[in-house]
Amino acid sequence: MERGDIKMRGKEEEDDKAEVDIWNYAFGYVKMAVVKCAIELGIVDAIHNHASPMTLSDLTTTLKCDSSRLYRIMRFLVHHQVFKEEPITQDSVGFALTPLSRRLIPHGERSMAPLILLESSPVMLAPWHSLSAHVLDSGNTPFEIAHGKDLWSYAELNPGHSKLINDAMACDARVAVSALIEGCPEVFDGLKSMVDVGGGNGTTLSMLVKTFPWIHGVNFDLPHVVATAPKVDGIEHVGGDMFECVPKADAAFLMKLLHDWDDEDCIKILKKCREAIPQDKGKVIIVHSVIEEDKDDKLEFVRLMLDMVMMAHTSNGKERTLKQWEYILGEAGFTRFNVKRIRALQSVIEAYV
């Protein structure tokens, strides 16, 4: 094959890929919208409870919905491997769960359904329309342009959205904490007490205290957040402001918290955490993503997308590289830290005074 022919074929392949990619960008929202529809209709729950593949007729009867519209929904989701078709009899097929749809079982251990419901909600989608204005430095953040106040003020005034946030953070925490417990249990050796800063409804701390029962847990968050947190043995719920004071403990635990804030605020939070722990043997445990940690990591694209989410939904939040983590930890007075990988989107950062 001539060099010119090879070059031409390479250009055709690039054009073919661009043809596919541009349609994905044009209709990228459709996948999220249809998966959200499946969650809201209860399709996953119905098939899971049935414990075997369900015919379209059975599914239609169970969900009390229009058969032809449901078929089109299922055809789309089967194409994207959210569900699969399996033969039931010689003449009929049923819809069954796949590894992907098992991650959508409402109360499943690894369910991500609450996170999808949060990110696909009108409240969280509206700010994206103002992203370009934010990049042009228009003043207000995309969320403030859309709703007139920042995310946390909005959540405090809207209990329904606050619950969406708490449920989404809880489902994400269950996945990350399981990976943390499996991959780095030694992180909790020697700790008698630990404060979870920004602990939400206490899901993370509940899992940790159950696994490491010698630890007394303090779930620390805004008063309106901890007011709805369930009571759990071994956990004390404390309301307050992390910019003013953090309850004292052997270790301060922060999961997916610092990406909500700019460097200056992160340094303030970390300084309060440093004040809360023993100066001789205390530490701060940060469970968070680290951008550019491993170029071959299959989840790196998620970290980059999450960085865009932070730009759209927070005032100055961002995901950080290792050098950026080193900077804010050093400015907060921590003299050394180490990073440990786990089988999750996040890594574990242990910081010491």
Residues carrying an active site annotation: 259
Q: Give residue for tokens 């206490």.
A: 202
Taking CA atoms, 115 is separated from 104, 106, 124, 174, 234, in Å, by 10, 11, 11, 12, 27
List, in sequence order, every residue forming a beta bridge with 85; answer none if it has no partner: 95
**Burial degree of 99 (CB within 10 A; 0-12, 13-18, 19+):** exposed
Nearest to 339 by CA among 323, 350, 352, 324: 350
Q: 55-72 burial, b for 16+ CB within 10 Å, e for fewer?
A: ebebbbebbeeeeeebee
**Alpha carbons 35 and 19: distance in angstroms, whole number:** 24
- Eight-class DSSP state of 343: S
DSSP H or E run through 156: helix 151-157
